[in-house]
């Protein structure tokens, strides 16, 4: 099967702040988006990488990805789900690995686990257990939630393209935050594989600082 990595990078990085959207900002000297692409593009089981970018960001994206073979950019939409939908229309058959540009590091073993698990399910996602106690509440606590049955879901997420297209069609115009949600709503089976802390998404300035420190300390 042809395996295409679809990296969504059409967000505005509001929570990160700053003048330039986070995906184009250098993390230890290299744009965040470039880290994400480089983490997948050399994998022996990935045949192609495509990138979904925001309208008008072609120059930023071209500069960030100079010299890398990512084909033509796809133009995304207002919500992440719109960007994924646009990407799915632009690629062919086979398997898709949907991945966030905001996750700069992806161990190759995670990709192997995902593709292996796809043999027995309609999709596969990397997950981690929850370490903190979880509760409902606002200014006061309103009940602890049993965390033993809860999972944190990361990307990349692997699917047969036809299944994911079907699931997004079923989802109509809703804007789920990830593909595992769309797949489950459509009644499709999503397997879990072990995720990795290193796949952490850079959302806030704190995440950014931690990633830069880890790179400086050669922990990545």
Q: Which entry of Mg ion, ligand CTP, none binds 40, CB below 5 to 8 A by partner kind?
A: none
- 158 DSSP 8-state letter: E
- Residue from 6, 37, 60, 100 touching ligand CTP (CB under 6 A): that is 100
Number of chain residues interacting with ligand CTP (CB under 6 A): 23
The residue at minimum Cβ distance from ligand CTP is: 11
By beta-carbon proximity to ligand CTP, the closer residue of 50 and 80 is 80
Buried b (16+ CB within 10 A) or exposed e, 20-37: ebbbbbebeeebbbbbbb
Q: Which CB atom, from 161 or from 168, has the smaller least distance to Mg ion?
A: 168
CB 17 to Mg ion: min, Å: 13
Which H/E stretch holds residue 37? Answer: helix 32-41
Compare residues 63 and 175 and give the one whose CB is closer to Mg ion: 175
Task: Indicate if the alpha-carbon torsion angle 190, 194, 197, 199 is positive or negative.
Answer: negative
CA distances from 163 to 70, 115, 179 (A): 24, 15, 11
80-90 helix and 161-171 helix, angle to the nearest 10 degrees: 140
What three-state secondary structure class fits 65?
coil
**Interacting residue with ligand CTP among 4, 83, 180, 192 (CB under 6 A):** 83
How far apart are CB 102 and ligand CTP at their closest, in Å? 4
Place of tokens 């990545």: 220
144 part of the interface to ligand CTP, by CB under 6 A: no
Question: Is 13 a binder of ligand CTP (CB under 6 A)?
Answer: yes
C-beta closer to ligand CTP: residue 3 or 52: 52
Q: Are 124 and 114 in contact (CB under 8 A)?
A: yes
x/- contact string, 172-201, with ligand CTP (CB under 6 A)?
A: -----------------------------x
Q: Is residue 145 within 8 Å of residue 135, measured between CB atoms?
A: yes
Q: Which two tokens stand for residue 7?
A: 């990296």
Binding site for Mg ion (CB under 5 A): 11
Binding site for ligand CTP (CB under 6 A): 8-16, 23, 52, 76-80, 82-83, 100-102, 201, 203
């Amino acid at each position: 099967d042809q395996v295409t990595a679809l990296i969504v990078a059409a967000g505005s990085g509001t929570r990160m702040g700053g003048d330039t959207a986070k995906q184009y900002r250098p993390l230890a000297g290299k744009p965040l988006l470039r880290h994400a692409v480089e983490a997948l593009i050399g994998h022996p089981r990935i045949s192609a990488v495509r990138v979904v970018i925001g309208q008008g960001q072609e120059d930023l994206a071209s500069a960030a990805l100079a010299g890398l073979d990512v084909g033509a950019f796809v133009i995304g939409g207002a919500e992440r789900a719109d960007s994924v939908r646009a990407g799915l229309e632009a690629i062919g058959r086979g398997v898709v690995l949907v991945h966030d540009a905001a996750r700069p590091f992806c161990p190759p073993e995670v990709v192997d686990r995902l593709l292996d698990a796809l043999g027995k399910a309609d999709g596969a996602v990397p997950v981690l257990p929850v370490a903190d106690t979880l509760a409902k509440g606002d200014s006061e606590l309103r009940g602890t939630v049993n965390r033993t049955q809860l999972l944190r879901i990361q990307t990349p997420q692997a699917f047969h393209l036809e299944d994911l297209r079907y699931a997004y069609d079923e989802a109509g115009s809703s804007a789920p935050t990830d593909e595992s949600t769309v797949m489950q709503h459509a009644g499709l089976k999503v397997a879990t594989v072990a995720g990795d802390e290193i796949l952490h998404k850079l959302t806030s300035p704190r995440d950014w600082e931690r990633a830069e420190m880890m790179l400086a300390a050669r922990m990545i």
